[in-house]
């Protein structure tokens, strides 16, 4: 009897599904307050939208705000005070659990080992960056969900379904454009999946997928662009389609990019700071588990290093990489790593698009060397998972689920007691910090700085006028406006958060 069959008859296998509601409960209980900057922007757009208008459509994540708007409007029926960012976070918690469920099914198929699949799924669910973004507002989680659904359809032993894969992959791209780099994965997977067919038929299946996926995605983007602009200008269309934030982009510093790439892979699984540790009952309990799991893991490795050597040998074995599932996952990883090596390599969260492939490769390597006599390997993996969970919880997830001192959010909440519905905040440029302050002070009115004349007019209209950092810096840049600011600002009403990480200031204009 194989190990997987032995495991299949025990009680744990019958009740494993309980783990997924537990994951959901953990996600919901520790939703991040270290908000992803785009998430706040999405929430603001959704709340500002008067209906299904063009403001909800963005080429980088075409369907995300649209779907979020629908979810937000439904949520308002049950709670008219709920904020869009909360809806988006809760939605992602559910999407992330669905990802874990699909991932578990994939692992069971490719490893034929229930316990190994379960532990590997927990590593996926509680890896640092995934866990954080599973509890945040962002388009990555639903996009990865559709990639996992696509990959599940592409497993070698399953019937080829090019049209269905084209549909699911297209939806992944509609939620985020980075899903585009899954295209070579589908091509390779379909080639392996149709291995028993004639070459012409195999090529035909691939072409059927490619044409369908292209027609669905490109056609939809064309329709949306025309609906938004009324233009058929090809150059304008491609500028819109390939838009990215101007302060970011491609970088070709090889040494720096290599460092950021290596650091990004570490941060996929572990992140946080030791200084974030909180000395209370939960902190102490999690610390004890962390120490026990880490110590047990090190003792197990120290007693017998052969399992680790055998595991590592797989990665220098050409036969291992020629397995269809491993070759496909390797293409999956390389497709993204090659692009992200040059495109904003510091953004670890972009690597969420291929973290499932990394874990599948590791799990298959463990399964390949697994026997009833060496089943200790998966339990070592379990100890690693427990240590990783506790470390991320203690130093990353739990601290960020609370409002931390000396952060933009802390200052934002402080301003609630200072500002009211007569407050006008003048700013010059949008950035992540001032948009966070704006979002959590919805009663205020924010306007762009045009001239000191506008400031004088606002101040004389019995409005409570404040200047934000970007407006202050713009006024200070010119002698004339700098002098005006000195004469009109109220030194008693000045709030700021200035350190190495933040530069956030608000100063009140004295009423005349």
- Per-residue pLDDT 10s for the chain (512 aa) are 333 343 444 455 667 899 999 999 999 999 999 999 999 999 999 999 999 999 999 999 999 999 999 999 999 999 999 999 999 999 999 999 999 999 999 999 999 999 999 999 999 999 999 999 999 999 999 999 999 999 999 999 999 999 999 999 999 999 999 999 999 999 999 999 999 999 999 999 999 999 999 999 999 999 999 999 999 999 999 999 998 876 678 999 999 999 999 999 999 999 999 999 999 999 999 999 999 999 999 998 888 888 788 888 888 888 999 999 999 999 999 999 999 999 999 999 999 999 999 999 999 999 887 655 555 566 789 999 999 999 999 999 999 999 998 999 999 999 999 999 999 999 999 999 999 999 999 999 999 987 666 666 666 666 789 999 999 999 999 888 888 888 888 877 899 999 988 999 999 987 66
Render 104-145 in DSSP notation, one character per residue.
Answer: HHHHHHHH--HHHHHHHHHHHHHSHHHHHHHTS--SHHHHHH
* Beta-ladder partners of 503: 498
Render 399-411 in DSSP notation, one character per residue.
Answer: HHTS--TTSHHHH
Query: What domains can you pick out in the chain, each with its CATH number?
Result: 3-231+251-400 (no CATH), 408-509 (3.40.190)
Which residue shows structure tokens 């709670």?
Answer: 79
CA dihedral 307→309→315→320, nearest 10 degrees, is -50
For residue 14, give the nearest of 108, 114, 126 by alpha carbon: 114
Q: Is the dihedral of CA 416, 421, 427, 430 positive or negative?
A: positive
- Strands of 489-498's sheet, edge to edge? 445-448, 423-427, 464-468, 503-509, 489-498
Residues 6+ apart with CB under 8 A from 487: none
* Half-sphere exposure in the Cβ direction for 406 (13 Å, CA): 6
For residue 110, give the nearest of 157, 150, 144 by alpha carbon: 157
What does the alpha-carbon distance between residue 252 and residue 217 come to, in Å, rounded to a whole number?
30
Q: In terms of C-beta density within 10 A (0-12 exposed, 13-18 middle, 19 or more buried), how is residue 466 classed?
A: buried
- Grouping H, G, I as helix, E, B as strand and the rest as coil, residue 465 is strand
What global pTM score does this model have? 0.93
């Amino acid at each position: 009897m194989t190990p997987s069959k032995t495991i299949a008859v025990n009680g744990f296998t019958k009740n494993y599904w309980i783990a997924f509601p537990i994951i959901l409960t953990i996600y919901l209980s520790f939703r991040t307050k270290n908000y992803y900057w785009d998430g706040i922007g999405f929430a603001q757009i959704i709340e500002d939208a008067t209906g299904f208008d063009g403001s909800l459509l963005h080429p980088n994540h075409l369907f995300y705000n649209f779907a979020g708007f629908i979810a937000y409007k439904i949520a308002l029926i049950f709670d008219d005070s709920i904020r869009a960012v909360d809806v988006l976070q809760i939605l992602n918690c559910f999407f992330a659990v669905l990802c874990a469920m699909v991932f578990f099914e994939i692992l069971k198929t490719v490893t034929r080992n229930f316990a190994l699949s379960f532990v590997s799924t927990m590593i996926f669910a509680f890896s640092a960056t995934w866990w954080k973004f599973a509890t945040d507002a962002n388009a990555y989680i639903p996009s990865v969900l559709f990639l996992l659904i696509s990959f599940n359809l592409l497993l070698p032993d399953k019937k080829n379904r090019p049209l269905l894969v084209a549909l699911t992959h297209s939806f992944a791209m509609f939620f985020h454009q980075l899903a585009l780099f899954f295209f070579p994965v589908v091509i390779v997977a379909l080639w392996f999946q149709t291995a028993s067919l004639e070459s012409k038929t195999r090529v035909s299946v691939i072409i059927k997928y490619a044409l369908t996926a292209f027609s669905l995605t490109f056609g939809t983007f064309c329709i949306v662009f025309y609906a938004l602009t009324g233009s058929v200008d090809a150059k304008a269309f491609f500028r819109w389609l390939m838009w990215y934030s101007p302060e970011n982009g491609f970088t070709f510093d090889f040494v720096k990019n290599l460092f950021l790439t290596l650091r990004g892979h570490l941060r996929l699984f572990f992140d946080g700071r030791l200084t974030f540790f909180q000395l209370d009952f939960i902190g102490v309990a999690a610390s004890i588990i962390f120490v026990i799991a880490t110590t047990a893991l090190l003792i197990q490795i120290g007693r017998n290093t052969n399992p680790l050597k055998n595991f590592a040998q797989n990665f220098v074995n050409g036969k291992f990489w020629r397995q269809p599932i491993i070759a496909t996952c390797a293409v999956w990883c390389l497709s993204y790593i090659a692009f992200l090596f040059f495109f904003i390599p510091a953004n670890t969260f972009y690597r969420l698009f291929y973290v499932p492939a990394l874990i599948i490769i590791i799990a298959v390597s463990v399964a390949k060397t697994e026997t009833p006599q060496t089943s200790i390997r998966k339990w070592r993996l379990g100890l690693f998972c427990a240590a990783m969970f506790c470390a991320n919880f203690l130093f990353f997830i739990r601290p960020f689920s609370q409002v931390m001192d000396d952060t933009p959010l802390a200052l934002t909440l402080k301003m609630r007691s200072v500002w009211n519905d007569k407050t006008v905040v003048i700013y010059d440029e949008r950035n992540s910090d001032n948009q966070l302050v704006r979002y959590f002070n919805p009663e205020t009115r924010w306007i762009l700085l045009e001239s000191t004349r506008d400031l004088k007019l606002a101040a004389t209209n019995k409005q409570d006028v404040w200047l934000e950092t970007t407006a202050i810096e713009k006024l200070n840049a010119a002698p004339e406006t700098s002098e005006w600011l000195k004469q009109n600002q109220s030194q008693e009403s000045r709030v700021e958060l200035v350190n190495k990480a933040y530069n956030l200031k608000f100063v009140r204009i004295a009423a005349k």
